[in-house]
Structure 1
Amino acid sequence: MILETERLQFVAMNAIYIPSLLNMYNDAQTMKYIPNNLVRWTEADLMEKWAAHVKNNGTGMGIYALIQRETGDFIGQAGVYNSFDNPKDLEIGYILGSRFWNEGYGTEICRGLINYCFCQLDAQHVSSRMYAHNIGSVRVSEKSSMQLVEKTKMDDERYRLTYRITRSTQRA
């Protein structure tokens, strides 16, 4: 486990979560805001994606399973990424099963990851990117004291927003 919040544990992804991940990745509601999403995920697709991301878990970066502390249930995934090729400038992201939306988990995940990046990984900046129409993630970023720093028109004609927080401006 890399991180624990009030209601969640962020644990290393492993094969026992594959059935839950498949269910989540094949839920249209959950995945409607995820770019480059397959229409139908197979176990082989998921294993390929999973292998590419968990290799970095030893560095503290990569994808982690989100487990409810009280029940032990899998509710999603969260990750820390070196998307900008600079270990001081990290990106965070998460996919939360739709049945857990609007319960405060997104904000708990985002704030936990921000704190983890600053305190454990010594990042100076933490960013989060989402499509502009993903109002839930926009609100989560804003509630987590992140500021909008970029709006980019994508090839699919939608806009991607980049929110960022800097270590020196993080609220305790």
Structure 2
Amino acid sequence: MVHAFGSPKRHPRSGVFFLRKRVPDRLRKAVGKREIKISLRTRDPDIARIRHLEQLLRIEQSFAQIDGVLLGPNGSPLAYIEIKSRTGVAMPAAPLVQLDQVAPPAPVTSAPVSLIGLFESYAAEAQLSPATVKRWAPLIARFAAHLGHDNARAVRRDDVIAWKDSLLKEVGCASVGL
């Protein structure tokens, strides 16, 4: 199966995964390389996939800053601005969109996201086995009950630590700080 974002590569000797990304021709002078290689510092393929996507996001954001791209609220490019690179060479850019023709971004709303609904969506997308869903769904519901709400957007690090501490108290263990 071919992935749209590529996939992490495994180093033949060490077995450590790494990212390999070609630099677009228009950005080579600004970046100073034809290719970017970054170690993902893991031998675990699942962790490597996550780190691969995170690094790709950082690279693409850096490319967008070099390009001078104005992004819309949904992440699509609204305008490409020709800017000069650090070397003083003008970077080629796509046709400039007049900024007064671009609608202002819509305000970001923080609609609540259900923890249980989020898990169910994840389970369907990841095609989790029914046994896995049966095992984890009650834990998600228990976490929501501990919080007193079902809004995933409102969960903070302190909430998770408090839940961990309450679980440790139930089994009689001492609290371990994160």
Instruction: State TM-score, norm by structure 1.
Output: 0.26
- More contact order relative to length (CA 8 Å, sep ≥ 6): 1
- Which is strand-richer, 1 or 2? 1
Instruction: State TM-score, norm by structure 2.
Output: 0.26
